[in-house]
Structure 1
Amino acid sequence: MGDTYSKMYYHIIFAVRNRKNHIDKSWKEDLNKYITGIVKAPKQKMMIINGMPNHLHILLSSNPNCFIPDLVRDIKSSSTKWINENHFTSKKFTWQKGYSVFTIGYSQVPMVTNYIKNQEKHHSRKTFEEEYLEFLDTCEVEYDERYVF
């Protein structure tokens, strides 16, 4: 082949520290736009972002030069600073330390997009903790129950 062609999709999940309900509906859309700007800066494409008051789901397509840990670090550190500078919460806002990332194939993009879009519906039936453990189990990710949250 004369050149390299690729498209990779990542489903990223991370939570507010201690899974507190700090993301308010009044500024959630602004947060989503802010994070979308962070994702687009290194030429990634935000497919969808949505979540609940205590966590976020991001689906993005990435070029092969993107190092996901750096991107997640940038998303979390920049958005934390932005939230705190705008005084959206009464106490200092922080994200939980870790995150999860799952690769998905092109054929799964519509299903994952729909899942992220309908977070409110999903969480009327299950908690974030239940959802998160289900993802880890379905994807056969090994974890220590003492430290997963």
Structure 2
Amino acid sequence: MELLKLYLDHAVLGILGLMSFVMLALVIERYIYFIRVKLENFQHIELLKVTLTRNLTTISSVGSNAPYIGLLGTVLGILVTFYEMGQGGKIDVNSIMVGLAMALKATAAGLVVAIPAMLFYNGLLRKVDVLVGRWTALQDGVKA
């Protein structure tokens, strides 16, 4: 239990930090790709869609799973707080509140990672739709 107490914050925030870094790297990669993509090089719409949506699943997964990582950190933090209460034999309201407040920061961190990830994901999906529409217009001989 002492090991959990010592490394819980570092582990949860480290995992969330890694998820955030990966998500941002993939978002930047996608935006750069969307700027440089040559729609006329694609002969089939499905090949275009596969290429345009590459890495979007990972971005979405970060957005949907970061709150769960944060929640896990909160639950484990509360578990540690209750364990310490049970071992001490006395109930100190101040230490309980500090322990619970520290546990809740993991949930907040999970939300801080998840919200931008979902915003980026939705923005990238919109960009995919726009590019597919432009490709379709090119195939029909319509100039933008």
**TM-score, normalisation: structure 1:** 0.27
By percentage of residues, which structure has more helix?
A: 2
Structure with greater contact order relative to length (CA < 8 Å, sep ≥ 6)? 2
Which structure's CA Rg is the greater one? 2
**TM-score, normalisation: structure 2:** 0.28
